Structure 1
Amino acid sequence: MYVYDEYDQRIVEDRVKQFRDQTRRYLNGELSGDEFRPLRLQNGLYIQRYAPMLRIAVPYGLLASRQVRKLAQIARDYDKGYAHISTRQNVQFNWPDLEDVPEILAELASVQLHSIQTSGNCVRNTTTDQFAGVARDELIDPRPWCEIIRQWSTFHPEFCQLPRKFKIAVNGAGNDRAAIEVHDIGLEAVHNAAGELGFRVLVGGGLGRTPMVGSFINEFLPWQHLLSYLDAILRVYNRYGRRDNKFKARIKILVKALGAEAFAEKVNAEFAHLKDGPTTLTEAEVERVARHFVDPAYLALVDLDDELSRLDNEHPGFARWRSRNTTPHKKAGYVAVTLSLKPTGTAPGDVSDKQLDAIADLADRYSFGEVRNSHFQNIILADVEQRRLFELWGELRELGFATPNVGLLTDIICCPGGDFCSLANAKSIPVAEAIQRRFDDLDYLFDLGEIDLNISGCMNACGHHHVGHIGILGVDKKGQEFYQVSLGGHSGRDARLAQILGPSFAQDDMADVIEKIIAVYVEQRHADELFIDTYQRIGIDPFKERVYAANH
């Protein structure tokens, strides 16, 4: 993983000193709330419903074990003993005291972490596939390119006050696990007919109040021009993006207003001034960054299919866990293991300080000292030897990480909702728990197969409800919390936005509503047909008829 040089470290430490003085001045009454607000947002500090929330940047979701231990210590010393994994692969603390935040930032800087550009109208954390570097279907490792984008975008003077926040995702694999089509900019690695590396470039995707799937405006951008072309896109957005209405300020609104073709023309005109300029990437620069992402010291192993099958037969629980929570690896004899943070009764994505310490220990012993956060709010050990899988499974069971539900209905993406967030219209966590408790039969869950259920407490869509196979949105109806259901969303390749089912429901009805939706799927599916495929085949009407029939 990327390691700071002296320059990087000085930048982060100087920012800590700067914010320490700004916080002191605010607490002493020398800065007003309005003056302090942009300063704290530049450092990832929000004022939520009950306490500040501090968002920690985790570039492309990658953490070293020493960093995980530091997060555990911060959770113990400055929070209420836990942290939250966000859908942007970051980490959030929900209960820090304002006066402690400079100390937290200093602690983070000691292990090369920070909270810079996790908020505000700037380029946020660049995200990618949680299996980057180890996936069998990978064309290129996207992590060096994410790091190049991070270094270019951090403190970029031209893009620190954009019309609105800005999000970039990079995919280097055959399957899109980074959801690039619903980002402000999505980048997909491709090779042209000559075998040269480049990127397909998408703009104008995004969720929130006005969800949109983006448009590809460049089918092959040579890698050398990546930063210059991104610069051109952001310059066009900075120039023409609306600043008079924050609800219409995202780049997706601009792309839709101009049309993708006209927007691309403006980008190309700007790019003509930037091409072959100082931001042109060289082989030496790419190699400098790529050296931080070389393969660890893999052993020369063979796949243990027969041995693992024997263990599956002897231990059905192990077989279930292995089928859902492990992913094939590019190296023989290894797998990637997903630690589920979705046991019933735990807020999705929450992890305690003791669990964080345990994860760091597991990373050191099983996975070369590294872990990854996924935008599905789980944690991954990417390099586990197959011969140690059974041993690891035993430890994960004791720690609460072995729930075999990855990709299933109870592997719910869920924002903190009204329990924490001051923007939320409704609570998210109790709805997630009610659904998990209703579907706590693992045999039934496995029979249902893969279903993405995403919950957001408001239209900001932090829970990505628009691209869930089943999406739930908290809405306010005359001061009461209600929930709108949508169906048919998909965040991977050829992304689709979900369709609203109909009028909203009370919180107490939500588990029943989901049960009725699932019942229609079970009755209508063909053999081995997944929920999303059944929905695409039969449409929304059978679900709507079943859900609303009993309410009249």
Structure 2
Amino acid sequence: MYRYDEVDRRVVAERVEQFRGQTQRFLAGQLSEDEFRPLRLMNGLYVQRHAPMLRVAIPYGHLRSGQLRKLADIARRYDRGYAHFTTRQNIQFNWPALETVPDILAELAEVEMHAIQTSGNCVRNTTTDAFAGVAADELADPRPWCEIVRQWSTLHPEFAYLPRKFKIAVSGSAEDRAATWVHDIGLQLRKNDAGETGFRVLVGGGLGRTPIIGEEVCAFLPARHLLTYLDAVLRVYNRFGRRDNKYKARIKILVKALSVEGFAAKVDEEWCHLKDGAGTLTDADVAHYASFFVDPVYDTLEPDPADFVRALAEVPAFARWAGRNTRPHKAPGYRSVTLSLKKTGVPPGDISAAQMDAAASWADRFGYGELRVSHEQNLILPDVREADLFELWQQAREAGFATPNIGLLTDIVCCPGGDFCALANAKSIPVAEAIQRRFEDADYLHDLGEIECNISGCINACGHHHIGHIGVLGVDKNGEEWYQITLGGSQGNEASLGKVIGPSFAQERVAEVFGRILDVYVRDRLAGERFIETVRRVGITPFKEAAYA
């Protein structure tokens, strides 16, 4: 994975010292709140309901074991012993004291981490498939391109004050696991008939107040033109995007206003001044960044070793975990392991300092010192030998990391909600726990099969509720917390937005309504049919009727 050079280290160190001085001046009363706000947001510092919140960048979800240990140490010494992974593959500390934040940033810089551009109207953390580089279905490794985009976008002077925040996702596999259709720009790696690498470019996706599926503006962009084309897209947005109304300032609104054809025409008009210019990538440029993402030296292994197969046969709990929480790997005899952060009773995405230390140790012992963060808020060990899976499972179970629910209903994607966020209309965490407790029976849960549940505490949709097979949105009704249910949302190649089934429900009824919805699914599904497929086949009416019966 990418490591800082001298320029990176100098830039991050200078940024830390700048913010240290800004924080000291604010605490001394020399800067007003209005003056300090944009400065702290540039460094990932929010003011939440109870305390400051620091959002730390994890570029495209990649972590080294030493970095995770540092995050654990920070959680212990500066926070309350835990942190929270987000749907943007970042990590948040919810309780740091304001005066300690510069010290935290300085310590992060020691392990090549920072909080730059995790907030503000700029290009945010570029995200990708958590299994990039190891997925068996990968067409091309997206990680070098993510790093190229990161280098291009970080502290880009022309795009530091966009009309609104801007998010880019890159996918390199046959199945889109980066939710590219609901990003401001989605980049899908492709190969043309001549074997050349390029991108299908999607623009104008997004969730929040106005959820929209992105649209294709370029079917195949040769890879060497990536940065000049991104420059053109951002320039058009910077020039024509609305700044008079923050609710209509995202690029998705501009694309709809101009039409996708009109927007693409303006991009092409701008691009004609940039194409083949100084921003054009050379083979040497691409090779330089690709050199940071070479495979480890994998052992030559036979798949399905005897001890692994025996453990699958003799230990049903292990077999269930291996079947649900591990994925095929491109190297024979290896698998990628998802450590579930969705144990019932623990806020989805939260991780303790002890768990961080344990996961870092497993990354070193069972892999090659690397971990990944998924946008489903779980932690991943990308390279584990099948022969080591049983031992890893035993240790993970002791650490509360082995809930066998990846992709199932209780693998809930959930924002912090009203327990922390000042913007939230309602709490998210208690609703997630109520659903998890309602469906704790492992046999029933596995019989239901793959169901994606997403919960957001407000219309900003940090929990991505619009693309959950079942989505939950917290709303304010006369000062009380109520919850709106959507059905039929999905990420992936067939991305879709969920439809609201009707009026909202009181918090204590949400888990019951889930039960009624799932009873309809069990009643009406065809053999082998997933929940989302049943919803698409029969529509939401029978589910709605059951929910309000």
Q: TM-score, normalised by structure 2?
A: 0.99
Tell me the CA shift for residue 191 of structure 1. Answer: 1.0
* 2:246 alignment partner in structure 1: 246
Alpha-carbon separation, structure 1, partners of 2:135 and 2:306: 22
Q: Which residue of 2 aligns with 1:314?
A: 314
Answer yes or no: is 1:467 the counterpart of 2:470: no
How far the C-alpha of 1:192 sits from its partner, in A, is 1.1
What is the alpha-carbon distance in structure 1 between the residues aligned to residue 367 and residue 269 of structure 2?
Answer: 47
Matched to 1:34, the amino acid is D
SS of 2:474 mapped into structure 1: strand
Q: CA deviation at 1:305?
A: 6.0
2:346 aligned counterpart, secondary structure: coil
- Return the letter of the residue paired with 1:412: I
Matched, 1:352 2:372: no
Match of 1:436 in 2: 436
Distance (whole Å) between structure 2 residues aligned to residue 533 and residue 23 of structure 1: 52
For residues 240-287 of structure 1, give each alpha carbon's deviation from its aligned partner in whole angstroms, at most 9, with x where no partner exists.
Answer: 000000000000000000000000000000000000111100110111
**Paired residues for 1:292-441 under 5 Å:** 292-304=292-304, 307-441=307-441
Paired position in structure 1 for 2:235: 235
Q: CA deviation at 1:309?
A: 3.3
Give the match for residue 61 of structure 2.
61
- 5 Å-filtered alignment, 1:170-181, equals 170-181=170-181
Q: Distance in 2 between matches of 1:274 and 1:359?
A: 45
Specify the code of the residue in structure 2 equivalent to 1:405. N
The one-letter code sitting in structure 2 at the alignment partner of 1:224 is R
Deviates more, 1:375-384 or 1:308-317: 308-317
What does residue 264 of structure 1 align with? 264
2-structure distance, mates of 1:336, 1:384? 6
- Which residue number in structure 1 is paired with residue 165 of structure 2? 165
In 2, Cα distance between the equivalents of 1:331 and 1:92?
33
User: Does the 8 A contact of 2:339 with 2:380 survive in 1?
Assistant: yes
CA contact (8 A) 2:344 2:437 kept: yes
Amino acid at match of 1:218: C
3-state SS of the aligned residue for 1:243? coil
**Which amino acid counterpart does residue 221 of structure 1 have in structure 2?**
L
Question: Which residue number corresponds to residue 149 of structure 1?
Answer: 149
Matches within 5 A, 1:20-35: 20-35=20-35
Q: Is the 8 A contact 2:305 2:387 kept in 1?
A: no
Deviation at 1:308, TM superposition (A): 3.2
Gaps of 5+ in 2: none
Structure 1: tracts of 5 or more residues without a match: none
Instruction: Name the counterpart of 2:546.
Output: 546
3-state DSSP of counterpart to 2:54: strand
Distance 1:483 1:142 in 2: 37
Structure 2 CA distance for aligned equivalents of residues 304 and 531 of structure 1: 31
Q: Which residue of 2 aligns with 1:138?
A: 138
Name the aligned partner's letter for residue 114 of structure 1: H
**8 A Cα contact 2:325 2:404, kept in partner:** yes
Whichever residue aligns with residue 115 of structure 2, its letter is S
What's the CA shift for 1:47? 0.2
C-alpha separation in 2, matches of 1:127 and 1:507: 32
Q: Helix, strand or coil: the match of 1:136?
A: coil
* 2:218 alignment partner, SS class: strand
Distance 2:301 2:291 in 1: 24
Map residues 9-88 of structure 1 onto 2, 5 A cutoff. 9-88=9-88
Q: Distance in 2 between matches of 1:434 and 1:367?
A: 35
Q: How far 1:297 moved relative to its partner?
A: 1.6
2:493 maps to which residue? 493
Q: Which amino acid is the alignment partner of residue 451 of structure 1?
A: I
Which secondary structure state, in structure 2, belongs to the residue aligned with residue 461 of structure 1?
Answer: coil
Q: Are 2:182 and 2:205, in contact at CA under 8 Å, matched by a contact in 1?
A: yes
Deviation at 1:311, TM superposition (A): 1.6
Distance (whole Å) between structure 1 residues aligned to residue 265 and residue 515 of structure 2: 48
- Larger displacement relative to structure 2 (309-318 or 84-93): 309-318
| Offset at residue 304 of structure 1 (A) | 1.3
What displacement does 1:196 show?
Answer: 1.0
Deviation, structure 1 residue 473: 0.1
Change beyond 3 A, Cα 1:127–1:273: same
* Secondary structure at 1:443 match in 2: helix
Matched with 2:451 is: 451
1:458-514 Cα shifts (integer Å, max 9, x gaps): 000000000000000000001000000000000111210000010000000011010
Name the aligned partner's letter for residue 458 of structure 1: C
Q: SS of the residue aligned with 1:274?
A: coil
Q: For each residue in 1:185-228, what CA deviation from the matched residue of structure 2 results, as whole angstroms up to 9, or x when unmatched?
A: 00001111211111000000000000000001100100000000
Is 1:218 the equivalent of 2:228?
no
SS at match of 1:220: strand
- Aligned residues of 2:457 and 2:475 also touching (Cα < 8 A): yes
Stretches of 4+ moved more than 3 A in 1?
305-309
| TM-score, scaled to structure 1 | 0.99
CA contact (8 A) 2:305 2:386 kept: no
* Alpha-carbon distance in structure 1 between the residues aligned to 2:337 and 2:349: 16
Which residue is equivalent to 2:535? 535
Aligned equivalents of 1:539, 1:510: Cα separation in 2: 20
Alpha-carbon deviation of 1:19?
0.1
Q: CA deviation at 1:310?
A: 2.5
* Aligned equivalent of 2:95: 95
Give 3-state SS (helix, strand or coil) of 1:31's partner. Answer: coil
- The answer as to whether partners of 2:459 and 2:473 remain within 8 angstroms in 1 is yes
Secondary structure at the residue paired with 1:273? coil
Offset at 1:29?
0.5
**How many residues were matched structurally?**
549
CA distance in 2, matches of 1:92, 1:367: 25
Q: How does 1:277-292 map to 2 (within 5 A)?
A: 277-292=277-292
Q: 1:116: Cα distance to partner?
A: 0.1
**For residue 243 of structure 1, what is the amino acid of its counterpart?**
R
Q: Offset of 1:307 from its aligned partner?
A: 4.5
Counterpart of 1:544 in 2: which secondary structure? helix
What letter matches 2:220 in structure 1? Answer: F
**Percent identity for Structure 1 against Structure 2:** 67
- Given that 2:123 and 2:167 are in contact with CA atoms closer than 8 Å, whether structure 1 keeps it comes out as yes
The two structures, once aligned, show a CA RMSD in angstroms of 0.6
The CA distance in 2 between the partners of 1:253 and 1:449, in whole Å, is 36
Amino acid in the other structure paired with 1:479: G
Shift of 1:306: 5.5
